[in-house]
Amino acid sequence: MRAGSLPPKRHIQFRRPDGGLYAEELLSTQGFESVYSLLYHLHPPTATLDVRSWDRPRPRLQPNEPLRNRHFRTARIATSGDAVSARVPVLGNADVTIAVAEFSDPMPYFYRNVRGDELLFVHRGSGHLETPLGRLDYRPHDYLVIPVGTTYRVHPSETTRMLVHETSGPVRVPRKYRNECGQLAEHAPYYERDFRGPILGEPNSEDGAFEIRVAGKERNAIYTVAHHPCDVVGWDGYCYPYAFNLDEFAPITGKLHQPPPAHATFEAPAAAFCAFVPRLFDYHPLAIPVPYNHSSVDCDEVLYYVSGNFMSRRGVEEGSITLHTAGAPHGPQPGTVEQSIGKKSTDEIAVMIDTFAPLHIAAAASDAEDEGYYRSWLEAPAAT
């Protein structure tokens, strides 16, 4: 992408109308080795007035012990504040923290995660992200990919509910969807045209004192800088926040049941993301639309239920999270296999994250746990 005014070459003089130099900034990832963008600010982004501690609450995580499948009704977890302060972690490990956040307040400060990319899934609500690279509008069912180091704040235009993933590295389109030049392949379930980048407006030339909360997992800080972070007149490159709406996802369906990797959306270190969206079911005359029992013994499988009729699950509701853990088989609940036969399509939406290291459980999730979930595969007692 490129936007706004740029000099003809990188790293050369680029002057403002008043004769001063614009301040070039390289926003790079993985040192200087991976994707990057070059930004041109009215003023250096380095002008720092103050740095102080940010005592960001850390999730209190407990092991999934005894090891079992679990169900958390996260819609019942109270959250409030803005898009960052409202985050309530529910599950996490060294690779990813999964949080829910429901908020209606705008952020008076900026926020920057310097540990890894963030992946925000918009369950409900709309608004926009304000970033130095431009404005990114969001709406229900958007995935927002925010590269590490991106300064941003969220302005909800209505109450917004998000599922938040703070990862430990890059969030990327799976390699299998790309050709050798990086272009999305013909067999991918989405296309470049489906992805929305930020729209750059006029630079904000305000001077004063602007707060940026910097999150680095164990190393947090609150910076006060002298110039508005969104004073960019132009930028180009491959590193920028973007949105992808699940309604644009073209699910891959088949003659027989397609496993989750057929529904992959993104991947991150030690984590894989999938989406289950409205789609036609399998067309073999004897097909069973619901999944078979399975044990993914080397990963933990998390499903977040967005909307629709969750045919293979008993007792879940919108906002439910199920954790199907390594070592415990799971599958359709009693009766749901027969019920599914002959069904032609589904209207359910759910998003999934598989983690390759064990997930731990946060206190807020334990408080919202459906304790008997692991027994939900037993046959229902006969009606009397």
> Pairing state of beta strands 232-237 and 36-41?
antiparallel
**Which CB, 185 or 297, lies closer to Fe ion?**
297
Site string for Fe ion, 314-353 (x = CB under 5 A): ----------------------------------------
**Which CB, 36 or 377, lies closer to Fe ion?**
377
| Gap between the Cα atoms of 110 and 87, Å rounded | 15
**Which CB, 96 or 364, lies closer to Fe ion?**
96
**Which CB, 130 or 301, lies closer to Fe ion?**
301
Work out how close the CB of 331 gets to Fe ion at its nearest, in angstroms, rounded to a whole number: 8
How big is the site for Fe ion, counted in residues (CB under 5 A)?
1
Work out how close the CB of 164 gets to Fe ion at its nearest, in angstroms, rounded to a whole number: 22
The stretch near Fe ion (CB under 5 A) out of 17-25, 96-104, 298-306, 336-344 is 298-306
Work out how close the CB of 131 gets to Fe ion at its nearest, in angstroms, rounded to a whole number: 35
First to last CA, the chain: 65
Work out how close the CB of 303 gets to Fe ion at its nearest, in angstroms, rounded to a whole number: 7
The stretch near Fe ion (CB under 5 A) out of 23-31, 111-119, 176-184, 301-309 is 301-309
Give every CB contact of residue 28 below 8 A, 6+ residues apart in sequence.
Answer: 34, 35, 36, 239
**Which CB, 131 or 325, lies closer to Fe ion?**
325
Work out how close the CB of 274 gets to Fe ion at its nearest, in angstroms, rounded to a whole number: 10
Cα separations in angstroms, 97 against 69, 163, 245, 284, 338: 19, 10, 22, 39, 37
Adjacent-strand bridge partners of 88 = 100
Adjacent-strand bridge partners of 153 = 130
**Which CB, 63 or 261, lies closer to Fe ion?**
261
Burial class (CB in 10 A: 0-12, 13-18, 19+), 49: exposed
| Gap between the Cα atoms of 375 and 131, Å rounded | 46
H-state helical runs in the chain: 336-340, 363-367
Site string for Fe ion, 101-120 (x = CB under 5 A): --------------------
Gyration radius of the chain's alpha carbons: 22
Work out how close the CB of 236 gets to Fe ion at its nearest, in angstroms, rounded to a whole number: 41
What is the number of the residue whose Cβ is closest to Fe ion?
301
Site string for Fe ion, 59-98 (x = CB under 5 A): ----------------------------------------
10-23 b/e (C-beta count within 10 Å ≥ 16 → b): eeeebeeeeeeebb
Work out how close the CB of 324 gets to Fe ion at its nearest, in angstroms, rounded to a whole number: 5
Work out how close the CB of 289 gets to Fe ion at its nearest, in angstroms, rounded to a whole number: 15
Adjacent-strand bridge partners of 351 = 275, 304
The stretch near Fe ion (CB under 5 A) out of 31-39, 223-231, 238-246, 296-304 is 296-304
| Gap between the Cα atoms of 311 and 329, Å rounded | 18
Q: Name the site residues for Fe ion (rule: CB under 5 A).
A: 301
